[in-house]
Amino acid sequence: MPWSLYLALKQLFPTGKIVSFFAAMSVLGVALGVAVLLCVSSVMNGFGKEIRDKLVEVNGHLQISDGGIMEEPYALAEKIAQDGEVSGVAPIARGVVMLQYGNRPSFPGVLGVGEAAGQEVIPLSKYVFMGSLEELDDDSILLSTGLARAIGTTLGEEVDLFTPLMLDHLKRDEVLLPRTLKVAGLFETGWSAVDENTAVVTLRLMQELYGLDKGAHKLAVRLKHADSDMGAAEREAERFNMELLRPPQTAMSWMDGNREFLSIILLEKTVMVFVMLLILVVAAFSIMISLHTSVVRKTREIGLLGALGARSWQSAVVFCWQGFLIGIAGSLLGCVLALVILKFRNEIVGLVMDPVTMAKYYQFLSFPADYVVADFVKIILFAIVAATLAGLLPAWRAARIRPSETLRHE
């Protein structure tokens, strides 16, 4: 071990003591900075991942449309399903209806999806917590929890559904009666944008309610390798447009369809991480001040090192080592601290915010977190580099100390 490293270690962890006060405070400063950064980064990643997952699960990786109502969706679906990268295709229809239970109306978005193939693309069954998806038929409906709560209904009750098609009939002096549907199940995805106001019916029923005949609005496509590869959906959308589809048919990836929203999430994360980086800069600055004070305090010892035969740069390196060691120890402690905080994040957040409020403003019932190794590595490297750089100025000062001047003044 180089003597400069040995001496740096001894100055941080002196003989007879576990750790020096200066070292403990500096390590703690870096650890807090690293922990906060890792927590913010992981939570923002978690939010992003949850939102991306929900977007894919509700829309599929790709959506194919022809700008209007697709007359022959099943024929195109069959053709798309032949592609090796596709794991499922389902015609879907979307719209807005009026739903009424007793005298309590609501205007939810309705998704009409085919039974078997539809489940492969939009896996609703995993979100149904009351009732069953198998019970969904042309005379029943699935409601999101928020919607059921809003109109005061529950499993097994009957609700009336009014469609925009009724207006067309009225214009022709015809009366189209509302459809009475039984609530076959309640679902909750954890994403309040969906959970607050969504209903699901069979595609056949949606075709009837919207007068689509055998048509659909879009094809939702699920890909085999797009969950782990963020760019896969965009690449496949491009390939579909070039090779499989004919204008006006177009394929759009879930990322294209939500580009603005995803950009905002990314921007939010970038801004948050940037702001939190300042904590580490402040920690590095306080390390620099402490090390500088240490240089002033140890001027004679630095002079003595020169008298013992140390080169001036070697005496300076002692202080760089100290910054580096503080960075390493602070980063490791910060990682541990961050993992503990993230493990108990929901309990901690629960102390200051109830889940309903969180769902209202942040779209989720629980606090998500996603541990991205690359983010951990970047933050730890930044902390170590910042702490090491903090030792440079004190080191420069130490290098300029002339032993003969410091040793003679007693």
Partner 1 sequence: MSEHPIISARALAKTYTAAGREIPVLQGVDFDILAGTSVSIRGESGSGKTTLLYLLSALETPTGGELFWEGEPVNGKSQDWKAARRARWMGMVFQAFYLMPELSALENVLMARRIVGQVRAQDSQRAKELLERVGLKDRMKHVSAQLSGGECQRVAVARALMNRPKILLADEPTGNLDETTGEGVMTLLLELTRQEAAALILVTHNAAHAARTDQTLFLRKGGFGK
Contact residues for partner 1 (CB under 8 A)?
3, 6-7, 10-11, 14-16, 20, 300-301, 303-312, 314, 402-404, 407-408, 410
Phi, psi of 178 (to 5 degrees): -65, 150
Beta-bridged to residue 182, according to DSSP, are 140, 158
11 vs 197 by CB, closer to partner 1: 11
Q: For partner 1, which is the closer residue by CB, 259 or 311? A: 311
Q: Which residues of 308-318 are buried (b: 16+ CB within 10 A; e: fewer)?
A: eebebebbbbb
Looking at the Cβ atoms of 99 and 329, the one nearer to partner 1 is 329
Q: Which is nearer to partner 1, 169 or 397 (CB)?
A: 397
Nearest distance, CB of residue 408 and partner 1, angstroms: 5
Nearest distance in Å: CB 53, partner 1: 53
Q: What span, in angstroms and rounded, lies between the C-alpha atoms of 319 and 398? A: 8
Query: 398: closest CA among 253, 326, 296, 254?
Result: 296
Residues 6 or more apart whose CB falls under 8 angstroms from that of 336 comprise none
Closest separation in Å from C-beta 28 to partner 1:
20
Q: Smaller CB distance to partner 1: residue 163 or 315? A: 315
DSSP output for 40-53: HHHHHHHHHHHHHH
Give me the least distance between CB of 373 and partner 1, in Å please. 37
- Closest approach of partner 1 to the CB of residue 283, in Å: 23
Here the tokens at position 237 are 């959308």
Question: Residue 2, class by beta-carbon neighbours within 10 Å (0-12 exposed, 13-18 middle, 19+ buried)?
Answer: exposed
> CB of 410: closest distance to partner 1 in angstroms?
5
Q: Which is nearer to partner 1, 343 or 400 (CB)?
A: 400
